Amino acid sequence: MRCPFCQYPDSKVLDSRPAHDGQEIRRRRECLACHQRFTSYERVEDVPLWIVKKDGQREAFDRGKILRGILTACEKRPIALDDVERVVDDIERTLRDGHPSEISTRQIGELVMDRLRQMDEVAYVRFASVYRQFTDIEGFRQELERLIQFTRK
């Protein structure tokens, strides 16, 4: 690694330790030429994940959108923020573990609904009513029937 003081292209590592919840490695270095010490951070480069919307537009993955949608569905429900964040982490990990570079909003919506169904039935119905865009009571009734069948299993 190039020294930030004298630009010499080589340094030695004096100390390494995990940083930022193990997502990075902090390295304390010393320049082999000027002997100045400096810190560098090493992290795995994320492969960008692209979301394909219903109209075909593509946008970069934003976990904040999933978090906001779930928080809205869980509003005034006895669900801890840590539980919601774990669900969002799980969904993001599932998306990235599949190794696709693009994923549809439909697939994300189904993952969210699956997690909410297991976590809280009211939050699930709230999310489903927006996600499925019910236009009448019949669509809503059908979704409730699916939920009842799921809970009987």
Compute φ and ψ for 77, nearest 5 degrees. -110, 155
* Averaged pLDDT of the chain: 90
Residue 112 burial by Cβ neighbours in a 10 Å radius (0-12, 13-18, 19+)? buried
**Tens digits of per-residue pLDDT, 30-78?**
999 999 999 999 988 777 899 999 999 999 999 999 999 999 999 999 9
Lowest mean pLDDT among 9-13, 58-62, 136-140: 136-140
pLDDT value at residue 31: 97
CB 48 within 8 A of CB 101: yes
pTM summary value: 0.66
CB 116 within 8 A of CB 101: no
pLDDT value at residue 10: 96
- Give residue limits of the domains in the chain: 11-43, 50-152
Is residue 151 scored above 90 in pLDDT? no
The CA–CA distances, whole Å, from 67 to 63, 73, 82, 83, 84 equal 6, 10, 11, 11, 7
